[in-house]
Amino acid sequence: MKRLKYILLIALVMFFWGCTDDTTGPGINPAQLLDDAWSVFESGEYEVALEEFEHAYDKGANPAGCLCGMGWCNFRLGEITAAEINFQNSVSADNNYFDSYAGLVFISSTMGNFDDTIEAGENVMTLAGDAYIFRHDSTVTWWDVRLKMAQAYFHTADYISCYEQIQILDPLIILDPDSETFIEDLLTVLETLIEP
């Protein structure tokens, strides 16, 4: 009788343990949850990917990576404030997470926060340099970051720094900073670089 109670107790514990929604148990890898979320992001399903990143975050995956993914999903869904918060939280969790700084470049530029655009861009360049490519969307590169920085410098009236960024983007563009039309010329070049 005692043995039967013991077996029933074990069976009950195993039954209730199997009914929980804990996906961090044996065989579940939080890093794999994050990788899976990035795969969904790469397929363009941003709403689904956002849920996957939140799930991975809840299950203990790399916080900076999850928050970065949430930020990029928010940005692609037009949720600018949520994107900014997630990118900021990502770099707070890991201040070397350059994909989050790249996201902040785009968010800050969109919001008209040009000093923040420049700061985030400088962080990308410091951490990744002119080899930067967003590993989950290869259409986002160092070139885009530098172009946003050039635009931000222009908007803050730092025309020489704007010109320096332009020369990195295209060394064949030569302007005369002493010319009376220098600012107009910069604007024309920026508009040309922005066009596809």
User: Left (φ > 0), alpha (ψ -120 to 50) or beta: where does 91 sit?
Assistant: alpha
| 34 — pLDDT class (breaks 50, 70, 90) | very high
- Residues 103-117 have pLDDT tens digits of 999 999 999 999 999
Q: Are 75 and 103 in contact (CB under 8 A)?
A: yes
What's the whole-model pTM score? 0.84
Mean pLDDT of 123-144: 96
CA–CA distance, 99 with 157 (Å, rounded to integer): 27
Asked if residue 114 lies in contact with residue 122, where contact means CB atoms within 8 angstroms, the answer is no
Domain boundaries, the chain: 30-194
* Superfamily of chain region 30-194: Tetratricopeptide repeat domain (1.25.40.10)
192, with CB counted inside 10 A (0-12, 13-18, 19+), is exposed
pLDDT band at 69 (very low <50, low <70, confident <90, very high): very high
